[in-house]
Chain A
Amino acid sequence: MLALLKQKSYRDRTLQTLFVGGLAVMLVIFVMTARTNLEAQGMTSGFDFLERATGWGVSFSLIDFSTSDSYLKVIWVGLLNSLFLGVISMSFATIIGIAIGIMRVSGNKMAELIGTIYVEVFRNLPLLLQAFFWYAILTTLPKPRDAYDIGGIAFLSGRGVYLPGLNVSGLSVFLSAIGLVIAFAVWLNLTTSRRFAKMMPKEKTARARSIWLAWGFAACVVMAMGRIPDTPLLNLPYLKGLNFREGIRVSPELLTCIVAISIYGGAYIGEIVRAGFNAVSNGQKEAGFALGLTPWQIFTRIRLPLAIRAVMPMLINQYVWLFKATTIGIAVGFVDFFMVISTSINQSGQTLELIAILMGGFLCINYTMAFALNRVNDAIKLKGTQARG
C-alpha cells in the first residue's frame, strides 16, 4: 500500500477521488439530514408550493400583482424589481463614475480635489450605512402638502418623489427598451465586426445613423400604439387633498436604493475610470499632439477609447458586484429578489427550496451579465497580442 502511494499516477488518482468523493459525501449527508429534519417537522419538500397563492402583497411591482397570485409570480416580481433597480442604479453609477473619473484626471487641481474627496468619502463608508442614511433623510422630507416643488412638474416629499410620466402602457415602454438593446447590439456589431471592416467610414456612419433613426421611429410608433386613450400625453403629478395624484411615484425605498447604490458605485467606477486614463501612456497623447490634434480630439479619439478598453474587465467585475449590492433593498424594505425570497421563507417555510431558487437566480443573472459584457469586451478590445496601451 505504501509502495503504491509512492507511484505518482496512483497517488494523483487517489487524491482526486478522495477530494471529489469527500465533497460528494458531505453533500449527501446534508441532503439526508435535511430530509430527516423536515420529516420530523412534518413538512413536505418539493416545489409544489410555487403554485400556491401567497396571501400577502408587495409594495412595489412592475407587473400586476395581487395577494391571490402564486409564489412563482411573486418571485418573478422580485426578480424584475431587482433587475429594474440594478439597471437604473448601474446607469447612474456609470454616469457619476465617468464624471468623477474625468474630474480626477482633468489637470484642474480644484476638480481633482473634489473628485478625490467624493471617492474617499463614499468609498470608505459601508453601503448599508449610506442606505440607512439616505432612507432616514428621504422619509423625513416634508409631508406632500409642504413638498419641495421642482419647476411645478416634480415634487419631493416624505412619501416619495413624484415625477411626470407618459400616458402609455407599460408594455410599449418595455418593447422600446428591448428595441434599444437590440439597436445597441447591431450598432456594436457594425462598428467592431470584421465583416464591416472594409466599409467606407462615411457609409458606416450613415448606417449607424439609420440604425438609431429606425429605433427612434419604432419606439415612437410603439409608444403611440400603447397610448392610453382620452388622456394627455404627458402625465403631470398634482396635489389633491393630502396626497399627490397622477405622475409617477418613486417610493422612498426605491429611491434610497437607487441613490445609495449609484453614489457608492459611482465612487468605485470613478476610480476604475481614473485607472483607465492613467493606463494610457503619455506617448499616445504626445503622438496625438505631434500629429497636430486638438486637446479635445486627443481626449475623445485617443485617450477615452483606449481608457475604456483598458478598464473593461475591471468594469465588468464592478457591474456584477453592483448588481449583487441590490440586495441591500431588504434593509429599507424595497421588494427586491432577496426580500421576496426571505418573506416567502417566513410565510411558507419552504427554506431549502427557496434558498436554492435564490442561488440559482443570482448565478443565472451574474453569468448572463458577465457573458454579455465579456462579448462587448471581446468586440472592442485591441486586436492582436502585440498591442500595448
Chain B
Amino acid sequence: MAQTYSGPGVFKRIRDDYFSTRLNTVVTLGFAAFVIWVVWSLFGWGIQQAIWSPADKDHCGHGSGGACWAVIAARWRLIFFGLFPFEEQWRSGIACAAIVLTGGLSCVPWFWSARRLSALWIIGFAVFYCLMRGGFFGLTLVSEQNWGGLSLTIFIFASVTLIGMPLAIVFALLRQSRLPWIARTMGVVIDTIRSLPLLSILFTFAIVIPFVLPGWMIGDKLYRVIVGYALFFACYQAEIIRGGIQSLPAGQDEAAMALGMSYWNRISYIILPQAFRNALPATINQLVITFKETSLVVIIGFFEILASGNAAYGNAEWNFAHVEVYCFVGLIYFTFVFALSRYGAYLERRMAVVER
C-alpha cells in the first residue's frame, strides 16, 4: 500500500519555526510582544484617534494623541502637483499616469527588445512632456519652473534614465574597448565620477557649468541638473553593464568573430542582449536607487515631491503636522520603490529557474 507523505502538520511546523528550543520560545515571545506593542500604538495613533476631516482640524495637535490626516485632505494637491496651475492639474495627473503605465508595460516580456522598449519609452515620455508643458490645442503653456511635486520627481527620474541608459552603454563599451588608451581614460572618468557623492555632481552642474560652458550651451538649470544626474547614473550603470559583459564566456564573442560578424553586429546581436539579461537584477536595483535619490534635488532648490511635502506643513496653519506629511510622502515613495524592487526580485528568481 502506497502512502504519501504530506509534510509536517501545522502544529509541528509552528513549533519548529517559533518554539523549537527554549531560547527560541523566549525570542519569539519577546519579539511578538514588541510587534503587538508597535502595531497597537500605530493603530491608536494612525486610525483610532486620528482626525480625518479638515473641518475638525482645530482638534489636531492639541492632546488628541492621534494623527492629523486632515492635513493630507487639505494639501494633497500641493504634494502631488506642486505649483502647477490649479485648474490645469488634471494634465499633471494624466501625465504621471502615462509614465506609470509606460513603466508597467515595460515589465511585459513582449516589450523586451531594444527597439520596442525605446519606442515605448519615447512615446510615453513625449506624452508626459506634451501634457505637462502644453502650449498647443488650447492647452495653456506651463513652463518647467512651475512643475512640481510627484510630476517633477517622475520627470527627473524618467529623463535621467532615458538619457543615462544609452550613455551607460557607450561608457561600458568604451571601458571594455580593446584599445588600451580609450579603456584606461574611460576607466579614470568612470571611477572619478563614481567616487563623488551625487549631491556634489548635481551641485557642480547647477552652479559650475555656467562658468565653463559658452553661453548658448548652458541651458535651463533643471536640464543641467538632469544631465549631471544622467552622467552619474551612466557611470554606475556602465559598471553594471560591464559586469554583465564580463560574465559572458569569451567564446560568445569568438564564435561571432569566427562567423565573420562585424564589431557593431557582435555588440548589438550577441553581447548586449546577453549582458543586459545578466545585469537585469542589478539594473533594477540601480533604478530603485536612482528613483530614491531624485529627492536630493531638493537641496539644489527644486520643488519635487519632498519639497512640496515640506511646503505642505510649512505654514502656520499646519506646522505641527510634519510626521503625517512625511508618512504620506514616504508612502508614495514606498509604493514606487517597493513595486520596482519586488519586480526585480521576481525577475531574479525567474532567471535562476531558467538557468537550471
Q: Once the chains are docked, how many angstroms separate the CA of A325 from the CA of B296?
A: 11
Q: Once the chains are docked, how many angstroms separate the CA of A267 from the CA of B120?
A: 34
CB pair B211 A108 closer than 8 Å? no
Chain B window 213-229, contacts with chain A (Cβ cutoff 8 Å), 1 for yes, 0 for no = 11000000000000000
Within 8 A of B (CB), among A1-26: 12, 15-16, 19-20, 23
Tell me which residues across on chain A come within 8 A of B295, comparing CB atoms.
126-129
From B181, B212, B306, give the contact of A30 (CB < 8 A).
Answer: B212
Number of interface residues, chain A, beta carbon within 8 A: 53
CB pair A132 B326 closer than 8 Å? yes
CB pair B333 A15 closer than 8 Å? no
Tell me which residues across on chain B come within 8 A of A15, comparing CB atoms.
179, 182
Chain B window 183-200, contacts with chain A (Cβ cutoff 8 Å), 1 for yes, 0 for no = 001000100100111111
Q: With CB as the reference atom, state the residue of chain B lying closest to A11.
A: B179
Number of interface residues, chain B, beta carbon within 8 A: 54
Q: A108-B17, A331-B299 are in contact. Are A19 and B27 (CB under 8 A)?
A: no
CB pair B306 A126 closer than 8 Å? yes
Within 8 A of B (CB), among A89-146: 106-111, 113-114, 120-121, 123-129, 132-133, 136-137, 140
CB pair A132 B181 closer than 8 Å? no
Most A CB within 10 A of own CB, among B32, B198, B212, B213? B212
CB pair B299 A330 closer than 8 Å? yes
Indicate whether A363 reaches chain B with its CB closer than 8 angstroms: yes
Tell me which residues across on chain A come within 8 A of B20, comparing CB atoms.
107
CB pair A108 B213 closer than 8 Å? no
Indicate whether A345 reaches chain B with its CB closer than 8 angstroms: yes
CB pair A362 B337 closer than 8 Å? no
CB pair B306 A110 closer than 8 Å? no
Q: Once the chains are docked, how many angstroms separate the CA of A338 from the CA of B330?
A: 26
CB pair B211 A33 closer than 8 Å? yes
Q: With CB as the reference atom, state the residue of chain B lying closest to A30.
A: B212
Indicate whether A377 reaches chain B with its CB closer than 8 angstroms: no
CB pair A324 B197 closer than 8 Å? yes
Q: Measured between C-beta atoms, what is the minimum distance from B177 to chain A in Å? A: 9
Indicate whether B338 reaches chain A with its CB closer than 8 angstroms: yes
CB pair A109 B322 closer than 8 Å? no
CB pair B293 A126 closer than 8 Å? yes
CB pair A129 B17 closer than 8 Å? no
Tell me which residues across on chain B come within 8 A of A38, comparing CB atoms.
211
CB pair B330 A352 closer than 8 Å? no
Chain A window 360-376, contacts with chain B (Cβ cutoff 8 Å), 1 for yes, 0 for no = 00110011000000000
Q: Measured between C-beta atoms, what is the minimum distance from A98 to chain B in Å? A: 16
Q: A16-B179, A351-B208, A359-B196 are in contact. Are A128 and B296 (CB under 8 A)?
A: yes
Indicate whether A239 reaches chain B with its CB closer than 8 angstroms: no
Q: With CB as the reference atom, state the residue of chain A lying closest to B186.
A: A19
CB pair A129 B326 closer than 8 Å? yes
Q: Measured between C-beta atoms, what is the minimum distance from B92 to chain A in Å? A: 21
Q: With CB as the reference atom, state the residue of chain B lying closest to A140.
A: B322
Chain B window 20-35, contacts with chain A (Cβ cutoff 8 Å), 1 for yes, 0 for no = 1000100110011011
CB pair B213 A30 closer than 8 Å? yes
Indicate whether A320 reaches chain B with its CB closer than 8 angstroms: yes
Indicate whether B207 reaches chain A with its CB closer than 8 angstroms: yes
CB pair B330 A20 closer than 8 Å? no
Chain A window 328-372, contacts with chain B (Cβ cutoff 8 Å), 1 for yes, 0 for no = 101100000010001001000001100100110011001100000
Most B CB within 10 A of own CB, among A23, A113, A327, A362? A327
Indicate whether A31 reaches chain B with its CB closer than 8 angstroms: yes
CB pair B199 A330 closer than 8 Å? yes
Q: With CB as the reference atom, state the residue of chain A lying closest to B334.
A: A124
Indicate whether B292 reaches chain A with its CB closer than 8 angstroms: yes
Tell me which residues across on chain A come within 8 A of B274, comparing CB atoms.
none
Q: Once the chains are docked, how many angstroms separate the CA of A355 from the CA of B211?
A: 12
Q: Once the chains are docked, how many angstroms separate the CA of A15 from the CA of B177?
A: 11
Q: Measured between C-beta atoms, what is the minimum distance from B263 to chain A in Å? A: 11
Tell me which residues across on chain B come within 8 A of A107, comparing CB atoms.
17, 20, 24
Tell me which residues across on chain A come within 8 A of B337, comparing CB atoms.
124-125
Indicate whether A37 reaches chain B with its CB closer than 8 angstroms: yes
From A110, A328, A362, give the contact of B195 (CB < 8 A).
Answer: A362
Q: With CB as the reference atom, state the residue of chain A lying closest to B329.
A: A129
From A106, A113, A124, give the contact of B333 (CB < 8 A).
Answer: A124
Tell me which residues across on chain A come within 8 A of B182, comparing CB atoms.
15-16, 19-20
Q: A124-B341, A128-B295, A330-B299 are in contact. Are A110 and B330 (CB under 8 A)?
A: no
Tell me which residues across on chain A come within 8 A of B28, comparing CB atoms.
108-111
Q: A124-B333, A355-B204 are in contact. Are A37 and B211 (CB under 8 A)?
A: yes
CB pair A120 B338 closer than 8 Å? yes
CB pair B24 A108 closer than 8 Å? yes
Tell me which residues across on chain A come within 8 A of B195, comparing CB atoms.
320, 324, 362-363, 366-367
Q: Once the chains are docked, how many angstroms separate the CA of A381 from the CA of B60?
A: 57
Indicate whether A221 reaches chain B with its CB closer than 8 angstroms: no
Given A124-B292, A338-B200, 8 further pairs, Cβ under 8 A: A15-B179, A16-B182, A33-B211, A114-B35, A128-B306, A330-B199, A345-B207, A358-B200
A–B complex contacts, Cβ < 8 Å, 6 sampled = A33-B212, A124-B333, A126-B292, A133-B330, A136-B326, A359-B196
Give 3 nearest A-B pairs by CB, closest first: A136-B322, A324-B197, A30-B212
